[in-house]
Amino acid sequence: ARGGSFAMSAFSASNAPCTTHSLHARVSPVSKARQGKTSLPSSRNVLLTFPRPGSNRASRFGAIVGHASGTETPSPVRKVLVPIADGTEEIEAVTVIDVLRRAGAEVTVMSVEDGRNEVVCSRGVRLVADANVKDVAGRGAPNDWDLIAVPGGMPGAEHIADHTKFHAVLEKHFRAGKLMAGICAAPAICFEPKGFLEGFAATAHPAFVDELGGSLMEKNDQAQCRVVVDKTMVTSRGPGTSLEWSLCLVEQLFGKDKAKEVAGPMVVQPANAKLLRNLEWRLDETPVAK
């Protein structure tokens, strides 16, 4: 085991742990949840590109996204790699890219689709990456990433997991003990079979969490947590937790103050927020009857 772990909401007032305990080595089980999750919808006419902070397009919206002159706290440069593929979950991908760039991270969006940077996501949204896997993998490719954050979605997570050249990038990053993050299907599909979660606490989408190894007690403790942080591994559950996951990554890279600074202008709902007026809407969290 690699020591204690905790699960958190990235904008909780206390960041109190869900659980703290020793962990057991993990053995990857046979995939059970992949079947029936690999079809791509027909394409919609939505195309998103990612202007970098400092560009004309990005600077025009500086006051909105938290880059207003004179308001930001100087931070060290942090380099982040976000792989995307056909079938990637677009909410998770765009959220982590956007939030980390608001924090000042140098984010490179990379397509694992050989020969093209445009991908069609799980709901038909088209994303155009900054780079292709051929530019990021292989001899002479950059290897100074501070974080690799893998969005989920199917079959996007499988495409990312199965790419031989990108596997080498992930493997090298993991062996160096650097920060890694996965959400939704990614922890179970991209990390677990490669042994990256051995000895780490983790969570995943409800449809995939049973594919994570470890003791039954360990899985039960972590399965319901929205974001789980165990040393260099940060995992989360799905589109609805992607903002918390992203803010948590800001905290891991830049500290708590930067996470709060980024969350403030976004009007993020605190984890312990109460209804203020009788017309204010909140999602009913009562479990749906089956």
Share of the chain above pLDDT 90, in %: 57
Spatial separation of the C-alpha atoms in residues 86 and 239, rounded to whole Å: 17
Please report how many Cα atoms fall inside a 13 Å half-sphere around the Cα of residue 171, on the Cβ side: 13
- Give 287's DSSP letter: P
Q: What are phi and psi of 183, to 5 degrees?
A: -140, 155
Q: What's the pLDDT band for 139 if we cut at 50, 70, 90? A: confident
Give the largest Cα separation in the chain, rounded: 60
Residue 119 has pLDDT above 60, yes or no: yes
C-alpha angle 100-243-142 in degrees, rounded to nearest 5: 30
Catalytic residue among 184, 190, 225, 248: 184
Q: Give bridge partners of residue 235 from the DSSP assignment.
A: 182, 228
219 pLDDT band, cuts 50/70/90, is low
Please check the confidence at residue 36 and state whether its pLDDT lies above 60. no
Range scoring the smallest mean pLDDT among 37-51, 99-113, 145-159:
37-51
> What is the SS3 assignment for 267?
coil
Closest C-alpha to 246, from 91, 50, 99, 84: 99
* Cβ burial, residue 82 (10 Å; 0-12/13-18/19+): buried
Average pLDDT of span 2-12: 44
Closest CA to 150 of 193, 175, 179, 126: 179
Instruction: State the sign of the Cα–Cα–Cα–Cα dihedral 74, 77, 79, 84.
Output: positive
Question: How high is the mean pLDDT of the chain?
Answer: 79
| Residue 18 bears catalytic tag | no
Look at strands 179-183 and 233-236 and give their pairing: parallel
Greater confidence (154 vs 277) lies with 154
- What is the C-alpha to C-alpha distance for residues 30 and 192, in angstroms, rounded to an integer? 10
Q: What pLDDT is attached to residue 231?
A: 93
Torsion of CA 266, 12, 180, 164, to 10 degrees: -60
At 280 the pLDDT is: 82
